[in-house]
Amino acid sequence: MTRLIAPSLLAADFTCLQKDVEMVNASEADWFHMDIMDGVFVPNISFGIPVVQAVKRIAAKPLDVHLMIVEPEKYLHKFRDAGADILTVHIEACRHLHRTIQEIKELGMKAGVTLNPHTPAESLKEIISFVDMVLVMSVNPGFGGQKFIPTSYEKIRKTRSMIEESGSRALIEVDGGVDLSNAAALFEAGVDILVTGTTVFKAEDPAGMIHQLKTAGLGKITVNSEK
Ligand code: DX5
Ligand code: ZN
């Protein structure tokens, strides 16, 4: 099972972004997660293409760009040119999701699809074999620092079975309210990539926190009945 960590720059210190990017570069994290919000699809506005471009210049790891915008199909090439390696669109924002996924791949990026908390895993049925990643939102998108929604576990398990049944090789990412209280259980439920904003960037030792998240549950003592 894959165990990747993607710190979300939404919780970084924007007055010292380079410092936070370098911390992630030097840490055991795997990707940079970048949240793009338009104030229409979600009730908040974050940052846009120039920030992705700037981070790309100093990032030593792939950029995992999460588009929380309406009509994402209009901007795919712009995010590719800015440096996105993985581009994820919301199922709720795409009228022609299959076409949008194909376009992301034709542009040379990995294609992700994401589901809001109210969207059932079953809605992935016809798209799952075309995507590289499914992002399960475990909070309503728009803000960092929200509380994890526990029904996400069931959705992750269902998504995992759908991936196995369809023969898809998609990875599962979870985003929102991830911390040390749920990281191990999320990996166990079938998650490959944890997105973590607040937990990493507000920690006293962010790189240490990344290590703890990545290894969550691995040190568990298991009882060996054979002795
Ligand atoms: C929420 C974003 C998340 C956010 C997660 O809309 O998609 O990526 O940064 O933040 P935390 O980890 O603080 O819940
Ligand atoms: Zn996100």
Segments forming the whole domain that contains residue 155: 4-214
Reported confidence tier of residue 222, pLDDT bands at 50, 70, 90: low
Q: Is residue 196 part of a domain?
A: yes
- pLDDT value, residue 1: 73
How do residues 86-127 score in pLDDT, each as one tens digit?
999 999 999 999 999 999 999 999 999 999 999 999 999 999
- pLDDT value, residue 104: 99
C-beta 66 within 6 A of ligand 1: yes
Cα of 137 from ligand 2 centre, angstroms: 8
Q: Is residue 22 part of a domain?
A: yes
Q: Is residue 129 part of a domain?
A: yes
Cα of 30 from ligand 1 centre, angstroms: 17
- pLDDT value, residue 219: 82
Contact assessment for residue 8 and residue 195, using Cβ atoms and an 8 Å cutoff: yes
Domain of 119, CATH number, reads: 3.20.20.70
Q: Is residue 133 part of a domain?
A: yes
Q: How far is CA 116 from CA 80, 92, 96, 208, in A?
A: 24, 8, 17, 30
Q: Domains in the chain: how many in total?
A: 1
- Quote the CA–CA distance of 51 and 54 in Å, as a whole number: 5
Q: Is residue 222 part of a domain?
A: no
Contact assessment for residue 74 and residue 40, using Cβ atoms and an 8 Å cutoff: no
Please state the atom number of ligand 1 nearest to the C-alpha of residue 8.
Answer: 9
Helix (H, G, I), strand (E, B) or coil at 42: coil
Query: For the residues 193-218, what does the mean pLDDT come to?
Result: 98
C-beta 7 within 6 A of ligand 1: no
How do residues 39-59 score in pLDDT, each as one tens digit?
999 999 999 999 999 999 999
Q: Is residue 225 part of a domain?
A: no
How do residues 160-201 score in pLDDT, each as one tens digit?
999 999 999 999 999 999 999 999 999 999 999 999 999 999
- Indicate whether 227 pLDDT > 50: no
Among positive and negative, which fits the CA dihedral 62, 168, 119, 210? negative
C-beta 195 within 6 A of ligand 1: yes
- Indicate whether 20 pLDDT > 50: yes
Q: Is residue 143 part of a domain?
A: yes
Q: Is residue 202 part of a domain?
A: yes
Summary mean pLDDT of the chain = 96
